[in-house]
Chain A
Amino acid sequence: MGAAERYVLGELTEEDRTRYEEHFFDCAQCAENVRSAAVFVASAKNVLGEDIKERVDMRASDRTRPGWLALFWPAPAGAVAALFLLVGVAGYQSVFVVPDLRRELARAEAPQAAPRYFLPESRSGPRVVEVSSATRIVGLTLSKSSARTFPYYRCEVRALGGRMVSSAVVPGPGPRRELEILLPVSGMEPGQYELHLAGLESASSAVASDLVRYPFTLQIAEE
């Protein structure tokens, strides 16, 4: 065991790599091992990136749902979080009666490109989230650090020093999946932040559990 894995992981020296290629071109079993490994790796790259792409695809998959419900179903946690983080605590009614907020919502609903980043929890250094000055939203995938899953999560973005920048209660992503957040960054200053994630048994629960911190540094490059 190991040669095919070492080969696709790029762990062989150039000389060993050439020798191994000369071997597997002649050995059907090893050729099959390498082929399986290469297909797996190529497919895995595609599959592992799919979840990220789904979060930036603003097209609603269920068009039969009425108007505003389409923002929340299928339950892309990021769309719900984006709504809350975008309008703060303004409330659902103000979104639909205030024309300028309606226009902002239309912009948010329109397809848009969003860079995506994977945030590990705080055991490693802060991840750099680099955006251009024209970027309005970034996608953040939060690594799942706890075996427990919750039906809801409180998601808070805090600046260095603890000042809360935004907060939202979002539906959980379900078992075995990471939480995907769409974070509007157009109003944020560059600097260090922490995303605090805590589990809730219900959307209105005041008691949160299993607090996890995801530090990141926001860098904004001028276009």
Chain B
Amino acid sequence: MLALPARRVALELQGFDAAYLERLRSGHPETEQHFVTYFGRLILIKLRCRLRSWPQIEDVRQETFLRVLRKVRSPGGIRDPTRLGAFVVSVCNNVLLEQWHTQDRYRPTADEPDARAGTTGPDPEANLITEETKAMVRRVIGELKDRDRDLLRAVFLEERDKDEVCAEFGVDRGYLRVLLHRAINRFRELYLERQGPTVRAASIGGGRRASRRSAES
């Protein structure tokens, strides 16, 4: 059973190459830590809207890591190191499907988290935030106009229907998206100011910056 490291790891934009994969295969501790931290967070973000129970999320996450590392360390391993992320998410999808089939659970849609999963254990989203992020977000929200703050409160805290909220505030969904985009950018600015120069997670070495293959519209 792999445990996520307790401390946060500041991650540079990371490309995965043959050298990274070799270190992962050989059990290099810092590379393993980076791998678990980097993909652990993405898996949590992916699963939090599909599973509400922290134990279930943790089960899927751990099983995903075990299967990926088993494959990485098998003869032949992963053929294309740059597609490590795609492999991780496909394994995660398979584990998730297996869990649903095993537990006879319906597959929730994006807007319908798995309400039957129960809420035992800590809130999964609590693993995404720290006092530091809260302080920065508090500042970002404090800088917003009152109406925009009310809008975000209605959407995220009160979890009201977004169309209804937009109609009440006299805005469209595009306004909400732009508001969120700007708030997130401001949050990122504050985060980078606080972090100072980018810190490499470890002497990963040889990691190329990922090319900007953005699917963003």
Contact = CB atoms under 8 A, between A and B. Distances in A.
Interface of A: 1-6, 8-14, 17-18, 20-50, 118, 120, 123-124, 143-144, 176, 178
A40 B39 CA distance: 18
Contact of A5 (B49, B82, B177, B212): B177
Given A14-B110, A29-B212, 4 more contacts: A28-B13, A43-B129, A43-B136, A50-B138
Contacts of B129: 39, 42-43, 46
A178 B38 CA distance: 39
Contacts of A14: 109-110
Contact of B154 (A32, A36, A118): A118
Nearest to B215: A23
Contacts of B215: 3, 20, 23, 27, 30
Contact of B128 (A31, A42, A118, A144): A42
Contact of A47 (B125, B126, B134): B134
A46 B134 contact: yes
Nearest to B207: A28
Interface residues of B, number: 66
Contacts, number: 160
Contact of A40 (B38, B49, B184): B184
Contact of B42 (A17, A34, A45, A118): A34
B80 to A, nearest CB: 10
Given A2-B177, A36-B184, A176 B142 contact: yes
Contacts of A178: 146
Nearest to A28: B210
Given A25-B39, A36-B184, A43 B210 contact: no
B128 A38 contact: yes
B193 interface: no
A9 B85 contact: no
Interface in B123-157: 125-126, 128-129, 133-134, 136-138, 140-142, 146, 149-150, 152-157
A28 B14 contact: yes
